[in-house]
Each structure stands twice: as structure tokens, then as C-alpha cells.
Amino acid sequence: MKVVLYSPTSFTPGCGVGDHGIRLAVALSCMADVRLATRVAGGEPPPELGEERVWRLAGRPGAGRRSLDREFARFRPDVFLLEYAPHLGSPRGLDRSGLLAAFAARRRRVPVVLFFHEIASPWSLEPAALVTGCHQRAVALLLLGLSRGAIVTSFERVRDLTRLGGTRRLPVVLIPIGSNVRASRWTSEDRSRRRASRGIADGSFVLSLFGRDHWSRRTGPALAALDLLVAEGMDAHLVVLGLAGRALSGVAHARSRSGVAHARSGETARVPPALQARVHILGFLPEDEISGWLGASDLYLLPLSDGVSTRRTTLAAALAHGLPVLGTRGPNTDPDLFGREFVRLVPCGEGDGAFARAALILARDPGSRTRLGRAAKKAHDELFAWDVAARRVIEFATRSGAAHRAGIGSCRA
């Protein structure tokens, strides 16, 4: 099978976290003849792909469509996978490059399958936002009309498509996003050395969470958990992977590679003086270091204001490392998938205290953490692994009538 994946991909790593399009393209390359089409000019693709499998399209949407048309004529793909989110190619959310790419595919009679990461911004009566929202929904409807099927990465996107009428128009499947941090091998000596580098003893209890600022990532519950564990006599520490910006105040902040602290957040939590030596903000780290710190953790925290969902690469990273996960259940949490016992969830509305008490219960029960960690790894291998996602993408493209030939191989990363 010949597959083209269109993604506004950047090959520049950020805090060790890769891009969904790159990971998916690498996984698909084990099963099909893949080309990754991108409008990003710089950076080097991963060695598993190589430059020969990357189509670098011109920066302007019209020129990019013409370049794509020429490549379609030469390569003659069986299916065109289009990753779409309105803000990927336009900071104002008015990107039309994906729509032009879909028209180019249809012109060459290449079946289109959509990958909906986002569909549209929430409705607002503010004039500019109202125009943007109407534009985004119109583009989404046009894309649906050009496609043979739609892949969504989370439960909330199924709801969004249903409201838009997409589930009546064509087949839709949910395929979770995988981990963007490969699980590296580490030993007990590596774990001890990494902890010692931050003054953390072997017997200490380490909580970890990713710190990239986002309006949905709450730091208050994590600090409440650390505070309660210390109050109960535990030698506990909180390790923040990545940059925290204004989400945490009162502690030293690591700088980004450009020397500028990340400063965008929906919540600021003040670290009490008594806890400041126990909060470690690690800043930018290469991928293997992130993996090592996940391996040096005892409990991974994911306190999200909208709930844990399958589009969170941070969740998939913790599952891939076999970490026990404590998260929040909210409106975006799939009740069927997360009804399985591979993460421990606290309802968002129960407050920081309930989250902290759940963390204390797990901290005092190593047996439960071990069972939860094993269930997490099993869930990752069955549902979140990239090779599983790639196989499901190809099977869905074939089943929905998008692909005419399905010579599927296999390999495991």
C-alpha cells in the first residue's frame, strides 16, 4: 500500500516530545510505502524515514497544492491521510492549506481520510471569534465532504463531529495518540544517580508531572498532594518535566533553550516556602532524560481541568513506562475506555484535597501501585502503541473503502 500523510510537522524537538505526524509516519513505514508531506522547511526527519520519504512543500498554500499535485502524479498513492487542526498552519485559526491539499488529492482521485485533532474553536459572540468559528466549521464540513472516513484522537472529538453532523456523513473511528517519549532502558543505579543529581534520596517518594503550560493543566492538585505526603511524614518530592512558566511561583525556573522562561498558563500556584526545596523544575530535557526521570518516579500525576483523555501524549508516555497514574475524570474522559482499571481517576469537581488524599492512598500502598503500573503498560501495548495505531489506521482506510490495495507488513519499534 502507498500512503501519503499530510502533516504541518516540525522536525525540531521540543522538550524531548516529538510530533504525532512523525511518530505515525515512522510506524506506518513498517507496514506501507509512506511519504510524509509537510509545509515546514527546516529540521531533519528521523532516520527511520529519511529525507527521501519527505515531501517539503512550498510555504504558500497555493504553491504547496501545486507541489502536492505533482508528487501525487509521480507517486500514485492509495490513500491520503490528512492531519487537520485549524491552528496548525495559522495562529489565527484560519488555515486553509489542509482543504487545498484535500482538493489536490481528489483531483488525482486519491481517497482522503481525515485525522481530526481539533475541529473548531468554541462558539463566542465576540465578532472576530464568531467569524473564525464559522470559517473553521465551514472548512471542517468541506473536508468531511471530500473524505471517505474520519479518524479522531479523543472522545471529545467524537462529540464535536456528532454536533457537526460528521458521524452521519461517513465512518468515524477513535484511535488514541501514542507516547512521544520512547521508553529507554534503565537500571536501579541509573535511578539512584538521577535522583542524587537533584538531592533526592533512594527511599524518597517521587511524584512527577509534565509542566508545559496549558490552560487545562492544573498544578494546584499536584502541590496539594506533595504537601499532604510531607505532612504525613513522607520524604516526598515533585519533579516537573519541562517548563512550568507562571504555573508555579516561588521556585527557581529552568530556562528554555532560547533562554526565555515559558510564561503562558491558565493557573498560578504558589509553592509554600516549606516545599520549595522539594519541587524540581527540570526544564528542557532530551528524550532519553525524560524517559529516565519517568523511570525514577513512583507516581505520575495528571490533574487536568477537563479530564484525562486519549489525546494526551503525556498520559501515553506514563503508560508506556508502566507508571501508576493518578488523574482527573472530567467532561472529556471517555467513560467506556477509562472504565478499565489502568489509571486511578478523581472527579474534577471534588477539589485539590480529594486529589491529594488519593495520592496519599497510593503512596502508602506499593502493591496497588505495582498492579496499576502493570495494567498501565498492558493498556499502552494494546491501545496506545504506535504500531497498533498504524495498523488500525490502515485497517480503517481499507474498511471505509478509502484504500484499494492493502498489502500490510509489520514491525515493532
Find cell 471534588 and name the residue: 350
Q: Tell me whether residue 136 is in a domain.
A: yes
Question: Do 362 and 394 fall within a single domain?
Answer: no
C-beta of residue 13 within 8 angstroms of C-beta of residue 44: no
Question: Do 207 and 266 fall within a single domain?
Answer: yes
Locate all alpha helices (DSSP H) within 108-253, ordered by sequence. Answer: 127-146, 155-164, 166-169, 188-196, 220-231
- Ranges of residues in the chain with a pLDDT under 70 are 9-10, 12-18, 58-63, 88-91, 93, 167, 212-217, 243-269, 402-413
CATH at 89:
3.40.50.2000
pLDDT computed for residue 117 by the predictor: 82
Question: What gap in Å lies between CA 155 and CA 99, rounded to an integer?
Answer: 24
Question: What cell was used for 175?
Answer: 484511535
Question: What cell was used for 29?
Answer: 513505514
Question: Do 197 and 327 fall within a single domain?
Answer: yes
Question: Do 163 and 148 fall within a single domain?
Answer: yes
Question: What cell was used for 405?
Answer: 490495495
A 10 A CB-CB count for 43 gives 14
Question: Do 77 and 220 fall within a single domain?
Answer: no
3 state DSSP class of 270: strand
Which residues are bridge partners to 205 per DSSP? 236
Which contacts qualify for 362-370: CB closer than 8 Å, 24 or more apart?
362/299, 362/324, 362/326, 363/205, 363/229, 363/234, 363/236, 363/298, 363/299, 368/324, 369/298, 369/299, 369/324, 370/324
Question: Do 86 and 216 fall within a single domain?
Answer: no
Percentage of residues of the chain with pLDDT beyond 90:
49
Q: Tell me whether residue 93 is in a domain.
A: yes
Question: What cell was used for 36?
Answer: 510524509
Question: What gap in Å lies between CA 338 and CA 272, rounded to an integer?
Answer: 34
pLDDT computed for residue 405 by the predictor: 46
The pTM assigned to this predicted structure is 0.86
Q: Tell me whether residue 9 is in a domain.
A: yes
DSSP state of 302: E
3 state DSSP class of 84: strand
Q: Tell me whether residue 405 is in a domain.
A: no
Strands 279-281, 299-302: pairing is unpaired
Question: What gap in Å lies between CA 8 and CA 353, rounded to an integer?
Answer: 41
Question: What cell was used for 46?
Answer: 528521523
Which residues are bridge partners to 14 per DSSP? 17
Question: Do 322 and 390 fall within a single domain?
Answer: no
Question: Do 147 and 287 fall within a single domain?
Answer: no
C-beta of residue 306 within 8 angstroms of C-beta of residue 266: no
Question: Do 330 and 196 fall within a single domain?
Answer: yes
Instruction: Write out the residue range of the structural domain in which residue 46 sits.
Output: 2-178+385-399
Question: Do 164 and 80 fall within a single domain?
Answer: yes
In single-letter form, the type of residue at position 224 comes to A
C-beta of residue 104 within 8 angstroms of C-beta of residue 69: yes
Question: What gap in Å lies between CA 408 and CA 385, rounded to an integer?
Answer: 17
pLDDT computed for residue 103 by the predictor: 92
Q: Tell me whether residue 409 is in a domain.
A: no
C-beta of residue 148 within 8 angstroms of C-beta of residue 401: yes
* Proportion of the chain in helix, strand, coil states, percent, rounded to 5: 40, 15, 40
Strands 79-84, 112-116: pairing is parallel
Question: Do 164 and 196 fall within a single domain?
Answer: no
Q: Tell me whether residue 361 is in a domain.
A: yes
- Total count of domains within the chain: 2
Burial label for 248, CB within 10 Å (0-12, 13-18, 19+), is: buried
Q: Tell me whether residue 77 is in a domain.
A: yes
Q: What are the C-alpha distances in Å from 198 to residues 250, 279, 300, 368, 376?
A: 18, 10, 18, 27, 27
Question: What cell was used for 404?
Answer: 484499494
Q: Tell me whether residue 368 is in a domain.
A: yes
Question: Do 256 and 293 fall within a single domain?
Answer: yes
